[in-house]
Amino acid sequence: MVATVLLPLLAALLVVAGLVAVIALVWALIRYVRAQEEARRAAWKKLALQAGLTSNADCTSMAGRDGALSISLDRKSQTTMAGTTPVVTYYHLLTITGLPHDVRLAGEGMLTGLFRGPDLELGDPDFDDAVRLDGDPDRLLALLDGRTRGLALTVTRAGGTVDGGQLVLRKDALPEAETRAALALARVLSSREEAHVRLPRTARSETHPTIRRRQLARALAMEGVDRTELATEALSWEPGCRLEAARFLGDEEVLRDLARNPSASAAIRAEAALALGTPDVEATLITALQDDLPDPRRLEVVRALGDHGSVAAVEVLMRQGRGGPIPDALRKEARAAIRAIQDRAGVSGANVGGLTLSESTPDAGGLSVAMDGGELSAVPLRRETAAEGVESEEDRPRHPVQETERT
């Protein structure tokens, strides 16, 4: 009897408890969704306020203008099917129009179809490897200072692109930092300031030495720039900038100091020596060839040694003239340089294109070079007097031995 009464009552209690649990769970879910929506709206309104944009009532769209720029940020939805179940997801689309049409920018590996022309490199490997850039080089050098390059990295890493006069960025989450960066970047890129006005100021504040040197070199080639003042100021900057400034001012003292400065790179020393173009920097050029120089610079050094070099340069030039992983142009220039040294020394080579120099010193030998892939070797010259019963050097025919290694 008791069991008959209690069992239904217990079942009813279990049903009520289940309903209460379900209601509590649903209520918690509703509160969570409401809190999420309130947080989204608060973040949306905050971003709109920071960006100076006007938002609609349900916080799904904001828009505004900043000078010539038109800005819009929209929350959009898209529906995909998971089997037979539709799934709705949301994303944000930022669009800024009014940018110059000749500037294109995107992350490396993204939308590379946009970039069918050359990818402009500024000289900062971290930036150049991450961002594809196209546009007027002088203008971009003037605009893309360190801060602006940081903004461009933030935008492109989020998938943003600049092309056709507009900046477009799509992101699932609200792009708060990216929107601020994109607005700041768009303001810089849309600047109407002339390159010759902005570039000297950018160069003065630049911290990357390679980019700063390029900025300085371009500024010193522009009309409308106080070039003498800028070059004089740049004499106290990094070695590369000092080189550009000294070359512009014709300051041989600074060039000579750079050519002999052991703390400067081999390329800087070689460029300074080339700018001097005088025989007394031959040692610098020889040393530079033995260091790691890019091929275009190495070619210039070889030519300079051909113009001003002495016998002391022959050995290092021979290394450039051999076979192996050396561009043909460099090998030909090295051989031409050796022939020029031969002509200046007044020596006729015994072989085709050969160079044979004999220094008739008491205990030094001759110098034998076979140009077409040859080696450099010392030729002993015995000097024994006739008083010792041996014919003298003047009476003895010379037969320098040339060792030839065909390339």
Over its length of 407 residues, how does the chain's per-residue pLDDT go in tens digits? Answer: 666 777 777 888 888 888 889 999 999 999 998 998 899 899 999 999 999 999 999 999 999 999 999 999 999 998 888 888 888 899 999 999 999 999 999 998 754 545 555 688 999 999 999 999 999 999 999 999 999 999 999 999 999 999 999 999 999 999 999 999 999 999 999 999 999 999 999 999 999 999 999 999 999 999 999 999 999 999 999 999 999 999 999 999 999 999 888 888 878 888 888 888 766 677 777 777 777 677 777 787 888 778 777 888 788 888 775 545 567 777 888 888 888 888 887 765 433 344 444 444 444 444 445 444 444 444 444 444 434 444 444 444 444 434 434 33
pLDDT at 279: 67
pLDDT at 248: 96
Q: How many residues would you count in the chain?
A: 407
Beta bridge partners of 368: 356, 377
pLDDT at 80: 85
pLDDT at 166: 96
pLDDT at 127: 95
Backbone angles phi and psi of 120, in degrees to 5: -70, 130
Are 104 and 162 spatial neighbours (Cβ–Cβ below 8 Å)? yes
pLDDT at 352: 34
The H-or-E segment that residue 79 falls in is strand 69-82
pLDDT at 387: 40
Backbone angles phi and psi of 106, in degrees to 5: -160, 165
pLDDT at 368: 47
pLDDT at 59: 93
Take residue 297 and report the two structure tokens written for it. Answer: 């610079």
pLDDT at 164: 92
pLDDT at 335: 85
pLDDT at 394: 44
The H-or-E segment that residue 196 falls in is helix 195-205
Neighbours of 377 (CB within 10 A): 15
The H-or-E segment that residue 24 falls in is helix 2-51
pLDDT at 117: 57
